[in-house]
Structure 1
Amino acid sequence: MFIVEDLTFKYPKNKENTIKGITFEIRKGEIFGLLGPSGVGKSTTQKILTKLLDNYQGKVLYNNKDLKSYGKEFYEEIGVGFEMPVHFSKLTAYENLNFFKMLYKSHSDIDMLLKMVGLYEDKDKKVGEFSKGMKARLNFVRALINNPKILFLDEPTNGLDPKNARIVKDMIKDFKNSGGTVILTTHLMNDVDELCDKVAFMADGKIAEIDTPKNLKLKYGQRKLDIEYIQSNELIKRVFSLDNLGKNEEFINIIKHNEIVTIHSRETTLDDIFIKITGVEKNE
């Protein structure tokens, strides 16, 4: 869907480039995570991909065609959910959605979307009376009202309780399974781990790492296994290498002859990888 090559961008009043020559691809039907601490260029990259900024250097192709060559028809194909919901607070949820619906040629079933996110019963309530979580869900629905091919989502589950966060994540998965493409920005690494096919970690205007979550965890993790077991009424803790573990007689004997309490590999988390790659601790 997108091919980005050597993308560079500088805001007019800045001395340094905000984007410093980044290259990546986003494939059709992929959930692509664009990650990193605040101020590294994620939002600027999204603004370029959504045609809000066009005075960039480098190449950006959308469906193998220069992004700059597209006109308003481009917006028919994308849905955008900003982190800070923008609604008309004195209008009802239904009135809000119908207003934005008129901006597009293609339309989704608003009633169905509202039912899916649990807002149908509140459709005639003024948005100013909505809670933060309700506004976030309405914001997500608005991103889907034009049957987009691509979703740009910024912190889509922020402010949601676990039940409603699950509903939104399942809807994102359904969108992908129906052929849609998602560009996701979030600081919630559990969402990234669950949803993303590929992630790009940004640091200081550059892409520091790009790969699948699994490959990154294998790369930055330790190939070791921790095991706790009961032996002679004592809790014993041991560490084994994962290499040739099936031929390790000591490990096999422990498994055979003792009560196992816990056993797990030392697979690192995306939170740990985030900190290591982006240098967040140094910035703090």
Structure 2
Amino acid sequence: VNKKFKNTVALDNVSFEVSEGEIFGFLGPSGAGKTTTINILTSQLDADSGEVEILGKNSQNLTYNDFVKIGIMSDNVGFYDRLTLYDNLKFFAKFHNVSIDYLDNLLKRLDLYDDRFKRANQLSTGMKQRMLLIRAILHTPKIVFLDEPTSGMDPTLSKKVHDILLELKNKGISIFLTTHNMDEATKLCDNVALLYKGKIVEAGSPQLIIDKYSQNDKVKIVFFDGSEKIVPKEEASKYLGINTKTINSLENNLENIFIQLTGDKLND
């Protein structure tokens, strides 16, 4: 898939597959092309060239019955400002014939139940994120597109979101997750694609990518005087002694690998 906005290349020959029941991470900084990709995949935007197939169909041929099998959480998918959080979500629950008990359960799990009567335009960023997440997954779709779902959330809330996403995966639901949080992607995703300036610079399972760029044959020795030394793993035993503070393997992480491949940092 390729996409330009005037003279700016948004997506450059982007290609990937997502399997049923898979959490697929589309990772990169703001402006990399993540949201553009979601908009193309969900028929909100046309690609300049290339083909997109979703639920076994070309994305341009999706019908109403196909769209009700899709859940979308993004800044482009709005909500009703003047309605309460609860009324926003009850509207969608009734539309999809979902029980209010199930809605209440999700609200309680994501710490929104006590605030359910707040108007949507009075919610904090993190509360809006959780409201939009519930709306995206409320009808148990076949595939869910989540754009930075834990943005603005503290670690405790993020963990609750992660638990819900893993439960959806175990039900066979496919999850397309965009994030610049590489730790989140490593924990959650079966496969990832690292996106930079519209190009995929690396793809595969998080652990395979980490292994590919890690120096598994070497270790780092840290001494009590603050000095460090990198040596072959088989020589590590020579440094066991009172002057050695730690001996650690040189396993990499996705964030360092991204910087290594692009020379650029991710957003905080």
Taking structure 1 as the reference length, the TM-score comes to 0.81
The Cα shift of 1:55 comes to 4.8
The Cα shift of 1:166 comes to 0.9
Pairs within 5 Å for 1:81-160: 81-83=73-75, 86-104=78-96, 109-160=102-153
Q: Is the 8 A contact 1:93 1:138 kept in 2?
A: yes
Distance 1:272 1:251, change over 3 A: closer
Q: Which moved further from structure 2: 45-54 or 259-268?
A: 259-268
Counterpart selection for 2:57 from 46, 62, 65: 65
Structure 2: gaps of 5 or more residues: none
Corresponding position: 1:277 with 2:261: yes
CA distance in 2, matches of 1:33, 1:261: 37
Distance 1:79 1:278, change over 3 A: farther
Q: Which moved further from structure 2: 124-133 or 66-75?
A: 124-133
Distance 1:235 1:105, change over 3 A: closer
Match of 2:204? 211
Distance 1:137 1:84, change over 3 A: farther
Match of 2:219? 225
1:64-98 Cα distance to aligned partner (Å, 9 max, x none): 33222221222211111115783333221110102
| SS of 2:52 mapped into structure 1 | strand
Structure with higher RCO (Cα < 8 A, 6+ apart): 2
The Cα shift of 1:259 comes to 9.1
The Cα shift of 1:253 comes to 6.0
The Cα shift of 1:225 comes to 1.1
For the pair shown, which has the larger CA radius of gyration, 1 or 2?
A: 1
Distance 1:225 1:175, change over 3 A: same
Match of 2:247? 263
| SS of 1:24 mapped into structure 2 | coil
Identity %: 37
The Cα shift of 1:52 comes to 0.8
CA distance in 2, matches of 1:279, 1:196: 24
The Cα shift of 1:100 comes to 2.8
Aligned-residue CA RMSD (Å): 2.6
Q: Is the 8 A contact 1:152 1:182 kept in 2?
A: yes
CA distance in 2, matches of 1:225, 1:83: 44
Taking structure 2 as the reference length, the TM-score comes to 0.86
Q: Is the 8 A contact 1:76 1:105 kept in 2?
A: no
Structure 1: gaps of 5 or more residues: 1-6, 243-247
The number of equivalent residue pairs is: 263
Q: Is the 8 A contact 1:199 1:213 kept in 2?
A: yes
Match of 1:44? 36
The Cα shift of 1:188 comes to 1.2
Corresponding letter in the other structure for 2:61 = S
| SS of 1:89 mapped into structure 2 | coil
Q: Is the 8 A contact 2:42 2:59 kept in 1?
A: no
Counterpart selection for 1:8 from 2, 8, 20: 2
